[in-house]
Structure formats: C-alpha cells, structure tokens
Amino acid sequence: MRVLSVASEIAPLVKTGGLADVTGALPAALAGMDVHMRSLVPGYPAVMAALQEAETVHAFDDLFGGPAVLLQGRGAGLDLLVIDAPHLYDRPGNPYLGPDGRDWPDNPERFAALSWVGAHVAAHSAGAWRPQVLHGHDWQAGFMTEYLPRMGGTDVRSVLTIHNIAFTGTADPGRLHSLRLDPARFNSEGYEFWGGISALKAGLMSADALTTVSPSYADELMTPEFGMGLDGVMRHRQAALTGILNGIDEQVWDPATDPAIVPFTDPASKAAAKAALRVELGLPQAEGPLCVIVSRMTHQKGLDLVLEALPALTAAGGQLALLGSGDPVLEQAFLQAAADPNIAVRIGYDEALSHRLIAGGDAILVPSRFEPCGLTQLYGLRYGTIPVVALTGGLADTVINASPAGLARGVATGIQFAPVTAVALRGALMRLATLYADRDTWSRMQANAMAHPVGWGQSARAYADLYARLTRTSSPKTSR
C-alpha cells in the first residue's frame, strides 16, 4: 500500500504542536503493516537543511507565484517529498507567522501550493512512485481534493484528518483566481464558508474519508459547541467520519532511556527525577503534589482556570511548574503568580525541559475547553505523571477517572473533571491532593498509568484498515 501524507509540519524537522508529532510518527508505525508512507512537506529552512540524498523529481514553472522543484530524499529517518519554493517557504521562524506574530498574508497561497503538489503527485507520480491513497492533514491540505479530479487523479482515494477544527483556513473570495479554484464550487456543496473560502471545508466536503484524532472528538464535532460553524458539514459527512486516537512515539518518550532525565522504570524510582526537577527550578520541598503544565498558552487550553485554582493548590501543599508561551496576558499573569516560591514558570518552548517536567511531576494538568486528542496526557501516563484532565475529546478517551468505581476496581489512571470551570478544576485539585496523600492508592495509579497503552500500534492498524477499505472500492494504477 502506497500512501502520500500531506502536512504543513512534521516532527522532528518542524513542529508547532501535536500535528507534527502525528505526521512524524505515523510512517514508522505503518511500516510494519505493509504501508509505505511518504510525507510531502514544505521546504522550510529546517527541512531543507535536514534533507539528504535529494533528487529532483519534478519542476514547476509557476507554483503560486514563482518557480519551484519537488525534491525526493530522506530526513530524520523519514521518506520525504519536499517542495523547494523559496518564494513561499524560505522564511525564518514559525511556519505560519511572520516576525510580527501575525499570519503571513499569503498563507492561503502557501498552503494551496502544498495541496496542489500533493494532488499532482497523486495524479502523475513522483519519479517512479505513485500513491494509492492521498492523506492530508488539517486545512493546509484541504484543497488537495479540489485539485485532484482536475489533474486526472480520480482513481486515487483521499483521506482528510481533522486535528483541530478551530482552524478553518479561510480566505476572501477575491482570491479564487490566485488559489486556482473552480468558481463553480464556491457554494454550500463546495468550499464556501460563511461567504468566504475555507480550505478545511473544501476537504471536508470532498475527501473520500474523514478522520479525527479521538472517538469523543468525532462525536463533539457534530455539535454547535465544538463544530466551530462546521457542525452541519460534519453531520452531513458523518458516515465518512472515523475517530482514531493518536499515539505517541514510545522510543522518544521512554522514561527508561530518555537522555533528558534521570531515567526510571517504575513509580518508586521516579523520585530522583522529581528531586532533580525541583533543584533545576528552585522549588522547595513540599507536602503536596508537584503539578506540571506543558502547553500553548491560549484560551482553548484553559490556563486562565488554572490561575483561579492555584491558591487552592498551594494551600493544600501543592506546587506548580509551567512551560509554555502564547497569549501575552496569560504569560504575564503566570509570571506574576511565580512570585510564590511554590510556583515556577518558564516562558518559551524547550523540548528537553518538557521531558524533565513530565518526568519529574507528580501530576500533569490539561484543563482544555476542547481537546481533539491531546498528547501531553499520554506523555504523563507513560511517565507515571497522573493526568488531571477536562472531560472532553481525547482527554475523555485516554484517561480512566479515579471515580469510586475506578478506584474500587483498581484501574484508575487519572482525574477527570466537568464542567470545564475553575470551580470544577479546584475540586479536581483537591481530589488530587487527597489521593496523593494515600500512598498505596497513589502508587497503584502511577503503575496503572505507566502500563496504559499509549503507542501507535492499535491506531496505526486502524489507519491501515481504513486505507485498505478505501482502495478496495477503486482500481488504483500501479507504480510506474
């Protein structure tokens, strides 16, 4: 089975969030299931620097404003197709944002180009390789199924994965020509969205199959609360939608071999990682649990609720260590809260520090207002760091609540709370403090968490089965 993954980021080469972790891990996870996945990504500076054994497989005279070439090669252990288009991608820093922190004004064209090249490879091949399935991720790949039939690729099946429906890839209808879109499709059955153009809606309406990153999020997308204006579209395409949980790379996130931490293999030996983290952050000894947060600082992530609940946590003897960046108001509020000696805040992103936080913490807080899947709670489970999560999306699907029934059966792996309010979070933190004080129950929960499956095996099988079902309904051309 040959699958082309089309994505705007891929770990470890370029990453702003969980999307990159998924696109970076899925090829290796599928390799053992007779699926050969190549990944098409923009030629950002970091990607170009990592590309090895590169050869040109196609040249574009005009790729949305300038010449470009498609390169085939390897990078970070991945089979890559890279779009070398300096006029679109040779820019410093974040893939989506300019130095002023705002979206690049030509983002619609930059990622339409990604979709265009993905459709071109599916229809015409890259060298001697042609995919049977075109698998795009989020709005940046949304137009691929608009372009594919026009290029003659109707025998190739398509999948679009929704990692976060909040980002719809909208543009003014005046860009129809620059985006190379068929004006006849600017309607409710195509890519029109509240009077504008939506790359995400384009893919949602025309991909053969839709997936999202947890079963609960798939259900939530049908509702006005979570559908972000696309709930009607999701109900219309419900039969095509499957929720498949994300996994994590268990080699990168392995407490026994992680080079960033004091290694450990069980809850009892985790104490050294906690002691080292306290020294690094300047936190004193405390009677209560050390809670950690590794997160983008946005309204979605519910960190304003943490600020409201913090006094209750510290009054119960708990501590907080946070690593993140984002909303300047939230950043400043947490920096001010760090005047308390039991609160440590680091603004920015540091991959190694994120490992040390998750390894050294007793609990990891994920109070998101919505969370398609979430990965940090999975990292927490892997490292015996008890997740405290809102009852939403993938957080609901991956954490077994320490309810009376869960505790009685000895299966609890974390704490869930609802509704997503400061009052409910405060209650969850009080439950956390109580459970932490019961050393036998706490050790059992940690052991349960570390034994909980968080890898890609089951999820990769679900993707492989989906690809197989799709290709049984068509007759793809063989590789040239």
Q: Is 15 annotated as a binding residue?
A: yes
R_g of the chain computed on alpha carbons = 23
Closest to 50 (Cα-Cα) out of 66, 74, 22: 74
Burial class (CB in 10 A: 0-12, 13-18, 19+), 172: exposed
Give the count of alpha carbons within 13 A of 182, CB side only: 16
Q: Which residues contact 113 (CB under 8 A, 6 or more apart)?
A: 42, 63, 64, 68, 83, 85, 88
Any idea what DSSP says for residue 98?
-
Q: How far is CA 344 from CA 283, 324, 336, in A?
A: 7, 12, 10
Check if the beta carbon of residue 135 is closer than 8 Å to that of residue 6.
Answer: yes
Q: Cα separation of 440 and 320, whole Å?
A: 23
The span from the CA of 190 to the CA of 130, in Å, is 27
Contacts of 162 (CB under 8 A, 6+ apart): 138, 200, 204, 210, 211, 212, 213, 221, 372
Q: For residues 14 and 27, is the Cβ–Cβ distance under 8 A?
A: no
Integer distance in angstroms from the first to the last C-alpha of the chain? 14
* Strands lying side by side in the sheet with 209-212: 52-60, 68-75, 78-84, 36-42, 2-6, 133-137, 157-162, 209-212, 241-243
CB of 401 within 8 A of CB of 422?
A: no
Phi, then psi, of 319 in degrees rounded to 5 = -135, 165
CB atoms within 10 A of CB 77: 9
Coil vs helix vs strand at 160: strand
Q: Which pair of structure tokens corresponds to residue 65?
A: 């404003």
How many helices, marked H, and strands, marked E, lie in the chain? 19, 18
Q: What is the DSSP string of 121-159?
A: HHHH-BTTB--SEEEEESGGGTTHHHHTGGGT-TTSEEE
Query: Residues marked as binding?
Result: 15
Query: Residues marked as binding for ADP-alpha-D-glucose?
Result: 15
